[in-house]
Amino acid sequence: MEKVRVRYAPSPTGHLHIGGARTALFNYLFAKHHGGDFIFRLEDTDIERNIEGGEASQLENLAWLGIIPDESPLNPKPEYAPYRQMERLDIYRKYTQELLDRGLAYKCFCTPEELDAEHERQVEAGVAPMYNRKCRDLTAEEVAAKEAAGIPYTIRLRVPANKTYEFDDMIRGHVSFESNDIGDWVIVKANGIPTYNYAVVIDDHTMEITHVFRGEEHLSNTPKQMMVFEMLGWKAPTYGHMTLIVNEQRKKLSKRDESIMQFVSQYKEEGYLPDAMFNFMALLGWSPEGEQEIFTKEELIKEFSETRLSKSPSMFDKDKLTWVNNRYIKERSLEDVVALCRPFLEEAYDLSSKSEQWINDLVATYHDQLSYGKEIVSLVDLFFTDELNLDEEAKEFMKDETIPNTLKVFKAQLENLEEFTKENIQACIKATQKEAKAKGKMLYMPLRIATTGIMHGPDLASSICLLGKEKVLSRLG
Ligand code: GLU
């Protein structure tokens, strides 16, 4: 097999979206599975839509996920460079001239107004809008005269009649399109810049791309690209069109959908772990053979097979994402998790009076249940507030008549403590059980609610220790 070369080719029109990240990820896994190369190419020909810093942000977020391109604008190979389309205009120009010379493309002088009017007419007449080929057969003299008059023009491909374009999609199987359904499309815009469908062919060929995984929105572009490959006598790569990512209501993700954080940077900012994101995204539209769900990057590379890419939309399951993240956080050392949580704690609370040991103990208490770094802020709120706001259920529970005595006994126990340690507090709980004759739920629940304000939480003795003697005694009334 020839060396596998795949590419992720974003337009720098925005930051790394989870859809784009998944596309990059599957291309990456496929390349690495086959010992091939993963290339990053910038498709920046839509100059009005490009944003400042778009390329850097894409690359940085990919790197955060652990997807480092073998080749990119920052890491070029001379035989394939440059890697930004706007730096490749000379390359496109050469092939455009060839297509014009061979009569496979032609200059179109129709104005945008004329084209719009024609489009409207066709829509009104109920026919599929398509370029009416007005400029298709202009004579060389007519073309020369229009050019001499300085009339702007686009260049269109002369789409062959009665041809079927078919291919075996790695995900969808056999797909075919009729050329008669495709109008003579623009390959070079009036500003001299090629369109996506045209530039992509020249790039995929000259960069020796062997396989392409991309979003299903590109499926209908494929026949257009195939005709250019054919005209230039080149072999098209093998394509795989991935299905949509949908939200929990099974709706296609729209940019405005706020039910899901859609940009990779948002996950980074909220303290998700990159290896967990990598794992989670690999399961967005791909499934392994067995039941296993937690995979290292190396395992994913080994297991990946394009034959197991899903044909149906993949749901972005937020609960699964937090579950996967929690699994990864649990595996991390306490030191790592403290480092992950610290910026969030610092931003939310005044830590100036807290010792390093206290912060470590605080994070340790939540280490096993934490799903993402920022979550620590809401979990530890009770250690930073003076007022406890009990919910109705807790208030109801505290009405039991045995409770005041249990709390009194416990308070007396704690008051006598010389050292306010977790072990000693645990001993006080035990002593309270005996002395107040409270056990099980009637022991732990009142102590927990009275000291922390919540009915369910981490280890009680640890929580009480973190709260500190003074605060606990005052809460016990
Ligand atoms: N620039 C295109 C996009 O961002 C790439 C499509 C392709 O992979 O061919 O959707």
Residue 196 CB-density burial (10 A; 0-12 exposed, 13-18 middle, 19+ buried): middle
User: What domains does the chain contain, in order, with CATH numbers?
Assistant: 3-67+200-243 (3.40.50.620), 89-186 (3.90.800.10), 262-329 (1.10.1160.10), 332-474 (1.10.10.350)
Instruction: Please give the average per-residue pLDDT across 427-431, as a whole number.
Output: 97
**Torsion 317-321-322-324 (CA) sign:** positive
Taking 80 as the threshold, does the pLDDT of residue 231 lie above it?
Answer: yes
Letter string b/e over residues 101-123, b meaning 16 or more CB atoms within 10 A of that residue's CB: eeebbbbbbbeeeebeebeeeee
Of 47, 218, 220, 221, the residue with max ligand 1 atoms within 8 A of its CB, to mutate for a pocket test, comes to: 218
Which ligand 1 atom lies nearest to the CA of residue 204? 9
Q: Which two tokens mark 426? A: 């645990």
CA of 67 to the centre of ligand 1 (A): 18
pLDDT for position 257: 87
Position of tokens 């120009």?
93
Instruction: Please give the average per-residue pLDDT across 106-132, as a whole number.
Output: 96
Taking 90 as the threshold, does the pLDDT of residue 439 lie above it?
Answer: no
pLDDT for position 477: 84
1: confidence class by pLDDT, cuts 50, 70, 90: confident
Position of tokens 């894409």?
58
What's the distance, CA 198 to chain centroid? 27
Taking 90 as the threshold, does the pLDDT of residue 224 lie above it?
Answer: yes
CB of 194 shorter than 6 A to ligand 1:
no
Taking 90 as the threshold, does the pLDDT of residue 211 lie above it?
Answer: yes
80: confidence class by pLDDT, cuts 50, 70, 90: very high
Q: Where are the alpha helices (DSSP H) in 295-421?
A: 297-303, 318-331, 334-348, 356-366, 375-379, 392-397, 403-415
pLDDT for position 437: 95
CA of 94 to the centre of ligand 1 (A): 22
Taking 80 as the threshold, does the pLDDT of residue 17 lie above it?
Answer: yes
Q: Percent of the chain beyond pLDDT 90?
A: 96
Which ligand 1 atom lies nearest to the CA of residue 221? 9
Taking 90 as the threshold, does the pLDDT of residue 387 lie above it?
Answer: no
Of 23, 44, 196, the residue with max ligand 1 atoms within 8 A of its CB, to mutate for a pocket test, comes to: 196
Which ligand 1 atom lies nearest to the CA of residue 214? 8
pLDDT for position 216: 95
pLDDT for position 256: 84
Residue 6 CB-density burial (10 A; 0-12 exposed, 13-18 middle, 19+ buried): buried
pTM over 0.95: no
| Range with lowest mean pLDDT among 83-92, 382-391, 465-474 | 382-391
Is the CB of residue 245 less than 8 Å from the CB of residue 253? Answer: yes
CB of 84 shorter than 6 A to ligand 1:
no
Which residue's alpha carbon is nearest to atom 5 within ligand 1? 9
366: confidence class by pLDDT, cuts 50, 70, 90: very high
E strands in 193-346: 211-215, 238-242, 245-246, 314-315
CB of 214 shorter than 6 A to ligand 1:
yes
Q: Where are the alpha helices (DSSP H) in 2-136?
A: 18-33, 54-65, 89-101, 112-124
- Find all residues with CB under 8 Å of 267, minimum gap 6, and list them: 261, 277, 372
- The residues annotated with a catalytic role in the active site are 255
Of 25, 214, 216, the residue with max ligand 1 atoms within 8 A of its CB, to mutate for a pocket test, comes to: 214
CA of 64 to the centre of ligand 1 (A): 21
Q: For strand 37-40 and strand 5-8, is the pairing parallel, antiparallel, or unpaired?
A: parallel
Which ligand 1 atom lies nearest to the CA of residue 8? 8
CA of 224 to the centre of ligand 1 (A): 14
d(CA 236, CA 234): 6
Taking 80 as the threshold, does the pLDDT of residue 293 lie above it?
Answer: yes
Q: Percent of the chain beyond pLDDT 70?
A: 100
pLDDT for position 110: 98
| Range with lowest mean pLDDT among 78-87, 253-262, 268-277 | 253-262
CB of 218 shorter than 6 A to ligand 1:
yes
CA atoms within 13 A on the CB side of 164: 5
Give 253-264 pLDDT, tens digit per residue.
888 888 899 999
Give 52-68 pLDDT, tens digit per residue.
999 999 999 999 999 99
Identify the DSSP state of 175: E
Instruction: Please give the average per-residue pLDDT across 434-463, as a whole number.
Output: 95
Instruction: Please give the average per-residue pLDDT across 7-34, as a whole number.
Output: 97
Residues annotated within a binding site for ATP? 255
CB of 73 shorter than 6 A to ligand 1:
no
CB of 188 shorter than 6 A to ligand 1:
no
CA of 97 to the centre of ligand 1 (A): 24
CB of 11 shorter than 6 A to ligand 1:
yes
d(CA 189, CA 325): 46
| Three-state DSSP state, 433 | helix
Give 177-197 pLDDT, tens digit per residue.
999 999 999 999 999 999 999
386: confidence class by pLDDT, cuts 50, 70, 90: confident
CA of 77 to the centre of ligand 1 (A): 21
pLDDT for position 191: 96
Is the CB of residue 328 less than 8 Å from the CB of residue 275? Answer: yes
- Find all residues with CB under 8 Å of 63, minimum gap 6, and list them: none
Instruction: Please give the average per-residue pLDDT across 29-40, as a whole number.
Output: 98
CB of 200 shorter than 6 A to ligand 1:
yes
